[in-house]
Every structure is written in structure tokens, then in C-alpha cells.
Amino acid sequence: MADAMRVSATQFSRHFAQYQDEAHAAGVIEITSHERVIGGYLSARELEHYRHLKKMERQVVTFSEFDEDMLAELRDTEWGVISK
């Protein structure tokens, strides 16, 4: 993902309509205060993606649902090594 657009809180509040339109193309706008990110503004598409990820985060897989491939991957997992 490309770097998010950054804008100061003052600029964002003064030109909200402009940044609302720009968020549609940029996806995410980071809001800063004194050079620190204090929040963000998401496009509708990015918000839906965020909600989907949060929903997936809460899914529970029980051990009985693991197939042989999943068990093999789990068995071969090494701590601190990123899988391919």
C-alpha cells in the first residue's frame, strides 16, 4: 500500500469537503497535530475493508475443523519465521 496522505488537523477541519473527496481516491488520510498522527479518515471502501478485517479477527476455528493441510502447516510452523 502506498503511503497515506497526511494533513494537519487544522487544514482537515477547514477544508473537510476537499479531503472527503480526496479520501475517495487516497483511501486513507492521516490527520496530524504537531507532526504526530492523531487519527485518520477512511474512504467508504477502506472502512468496509476495516470492518471485514475486524470481523475476521474474531472468527474462531475449532481443532476439529482443521484439515490435514492446516495441521501440517501448524506442525511445521517455526516461531518468528514468516511463512511464504
pLDDT in tens, 4-60: 899 999 999 999 999 999 999 999 999 999 999 999 999 999 999 999 988 878 777
For residues 32 and 38, is the Cβ–Cβ distance under 8 A? yes
Q: Per residue in 52-84, is it b (16+ CB within 10 Å) or e — as a string?
A: eeeeeeeeeeeeeeeeeeeeeeeeeeeeeeeee
pTM beyond cutoff 0.85: no
